[in-house]
Chains A and B, each alone.
Chain A
Amino acid sequence: MPDNSRRALNFLLGSGIIASLASFLYPVAKFLRPPRVPEAPVNEVRVPGASQITPNTARIVKFGTRPVLLIRVNETKWRAFGATCTHLNCTVQYRSESQQIWCACHNGFYDLNGRVVSGPPPRPLDEFVVRARGDEVVIARRS
């Protein structure tokens, strides 16, 4: 085989193999780089801007796929409950004047322990653990 065509052939083979290897190694290299958020927020969720929540008010925070009602009872005391009403799954809200959790859909009321006070809800709200360290507030599942 003439030398030029042999070299051309080797070049073709080599570049084909290198190109294919590159198209495999590129995704692998990107895969190995840690993503911006290093892990899935499954067991714990950090609450951004928690210091801006005034006492006796609440905010809805996303915990994985579910909404959680984070209540700042006073300067130092926090409570957190699953924000889905146990009656027909509406999202509940916090009523500062009575310090109760209220569901607007059918007038269900829960107390600050998540227990049903009045109305149609059949079960209490799921409770979450809240840990506050200075300005940082973390909501976690109850183990």
Chain B
Amino acid sequence: MSVSLTVLLMLAPAAASRDTCRDCHAALEGPLAKPAVEFARDVHAHSGFGCASCHGGDPTQEDPALSMSRARGFVGKIVRTAVPRACARCHNDASLMHKFKPQQRVDQLTQYLTSIHGKRLAQGDTAGATCTDCHGAHGILEVRNPQAPTHPLRLPATCGRCHADTRLMARYGLATNQLAEYQASFHWEALSQRRDLSAPGCATCHGNHGATPPEVSSVAAVCGTCHALLEELFRKSVHQPLFATMQRGGCSVCHGHHKVERTSVDMLDGQKSVCAGCHEPGSPGARLAAEMGRRIRELRSALDRSDQILARAARDGMEVSEAVLRQQEGREALVRARVAVHTANLEEVLAWTKQGMAVAHATWQAGQEALRERDRRRMGLGVSLCAIALAIAGLWLKLRSVEASRPGL
């Protein structure tokens, strides 16, 4: 069986030019025609594979008894539990994949078997996700194709087909709010609205084939693949060993895991404080957070004040582009101060707020100077208008005296 299959597999590319499976099924109606129609845009079809490559049988024969003969390897519809191994027949074969996409990984099956999906399927639970659930069965598109269900922009909805289905997930006692929470997150906003394809989706943190929720101890490392500096700072802070002992997951303690929202200084103190979750009001930790919050807010107001005075000067016609540029430095210092919060060390935050305040002070002075220059110009205008008025007065009086003696008007 496997020998004939291998032979057929080798023949498959050559035989793709004559594919009776497609020809017959395309002429049928209803669900039997769908695979043949969809396969036209499948990436496998473009590489010369046909129906028989997965389903077996003989695509050169018109007689169904021959083309769909078990003797010729026909397996018919592949049962869900057999799908991963069916796909892996090629996709786990490095030398075969090398002929088509030398850089593509060939360990998807290995990864899959470590995942919850793979384990459940191996136990016979047909509800477990298999290859075709995410990639499709017949119209499979490359991940980078925006129409593919595995494209970054569509992947959350694909995962959500099961994971947001309360009836389905009830069987496993799993929550179903992840998709909704993720879609309220800043990451999804970056992905869906700014089209930043580097923003994380489900697979970025959970893995794709080896999909597993990260362990509590590895949350920081997972976030740190992009937010490397923040992970570094967090690891050096007192929180890291503390969270580890408390068995709480690093970054997600304060930022959540799916509903990762835009950060703000309000997370330090006040109504929306995340620090207050552990640090009681008046405790050293709470007071530290409050001080950080105060300094950061102070810097932000100082920068805003400078923005305002520079805008006013610009409106009055003064050229303040250099100071406006300098404000960028101040804004960067603000960002770095907020980043330094992760060290849980006040000195680190203060180092940046001090720098930022110096910039805000300098740009404020520049704005003041611009307004003073504007006033100087207006005074200069006044002076020259007086001189002009004097000249006009002199001309008028001269005119009157001339016309008194020589009436010309």
B169: Cβ under 8 A from any A Cβ: no
The 10 closest A-B pairs by CB, nearest first: A120-B198, A13-B394, A16-B391, A23-B384, A16-B390, A19-B387, A16-B394, A107-B228, A20-B387, A20-B391
Residue interface bits B382-407, CB-to-A below 8 A is 1, else 0: 01101110111111011001001100
| B332 partner, pick from A91, A106, A122, beta carbons under 8 A | A91
Q: Are A1 and B404 in contact (CB under 8 A)?
A: yes
| B405 partner, pick from A1, A10, A24, A120, beta carbons under 8 A | A1
B271: Cβ under 8 A from any A Cβ: no
CA distance A24 to B404 in the complex (A): 32
- A106 and B321 contact, Cβ closer than 8 Å, known pairs A1-B401, A16-B393: no
B227: Cβ under 8 A from any A Cβ: yes
Closest to B391 in A: A16
- Which B residues have a C-beta under 8 Å from some C-beta of A? 196, 198-199, 224-229, 321, 325, 332, 335, 339, 383-384, 386-388, 390-395, 397-398, 401, 404-405
Q: A62 → chain B, closest Cβ, in Å?
A: 8
Q: How many A-B residue pairs have CB under 8 A?
A: 74
| A23 partner, pick from B332, B339, B387, beta carbons under 8 A | B387
Q: Are A16 and B392 in contact (CB under 8 A)?
A: yes
Which residues of chain B come closer than 8 Å to A105, judged between CB atoms?
A: 229
CA distance A5 to B141 in the complex (A): 100
CA distance A22 to B380 in the complex (A): 12
**Which of A13, A16, A119, A122 gathers most chain B CB within 10 Å?**
A16
Q: Are B397 and A12 in contact (CB under 8 A)?
A: yes
Which residues of chain B come closer than 8 Å to A65, judged between CB atoms?
A: 321, 325
Q: Are B401 and A9 in contact (CB under 8 A)?
A: yes
A133: Cβ under 8 A from any B Cβ: no
| A12 partner, pick from B226, B339, B390, beta carbons under 8 A | B390
Closest to B389 in A: A16
Which residues of chain B come closer than 8 Å to A88, judged between CB atoms?
A: 196
Q: B393 → chain A, closest Cβ, in Å?
A: 7
28 contacts between A and B (CB under 8 A): A1-B405, A12-B390, A12-B394, A13-B395, A13-B397, A13-B398, A16-B387, A16-B390, A16-B391, A16-B392, A16-B394, A19-B386, A19-B390, A20-B391, A22-B387, A23-B384, A23-B388, A87-B196, A90-B332, A91-B332, A107-B224, A107-B226, A107-B229, A119-B226, A120-B198, A120-B199, A120-B226, A122-B198
